[in-house]
Amino acid sequence: MSGVVLVLAGIVGQLPLVIALLVGVVMAIRRRAQNPRAATFALIAAVVGLLAEALVIMVVVSSSLLPEIVASAHVPVALVGVVYRVVGIFVSLLAAIPWILITIALFGRSKPAQALPPVTG
């Protein structure tokens, strides 16, 4: 398979999550008036998730071009492996942040419901 096909396949594989995160951004913006705290956490989570996905796509693209990069730059393969491990750990940590924020938005402390006045009548 050519490098272009691998890159496109990697990007297409990330599209469902990117679309879900974009829907999350829109929903958080539209629902901000109803529950500002949860919407803010959800919005931050979606934006951080989009940043993480952008990094994942960059890693996919660069990994398909890796043989050419290593050959032309005379970079030791061991160094490339270390760089990819560090990037992988960073992307994993970045991908965990949205889930933490979504959990806080869903289950974090919210304002208690106000009691309705008694009905007289």
- The pTM for the full model equals 0.71
Q: How far apart are CA 82 and CA 66, in angstroms?
A: 13
CB-CB contact of 96 with 57 (8 Å): no
pLDDT value of position 46: 92
User: Tell me: the pLDDT tens digits for 61-83?
Assistant: 777 777 777 778 888 878 888 88
CB-CB contact of 42 with 27 (8 Å): yes
pLDDT value of position 59: 81
CA 73, distance to chain mean position in Å, is: 31
Looking at residue 48, its amino acid is V
pLDDT value of position 72: 83
Q: List the one residue out of 116, 120, 100, 96 whose CA is nearest residue 108.
A: 100
Backbone angles phi, psi at 57, to 5 degrees: -65, -40
Give every residue of the chain whose pLDDT is below 70, as ranges: 1-3, 110-116, 121
Total Cβ atoms within 10 A of residue 117: 6
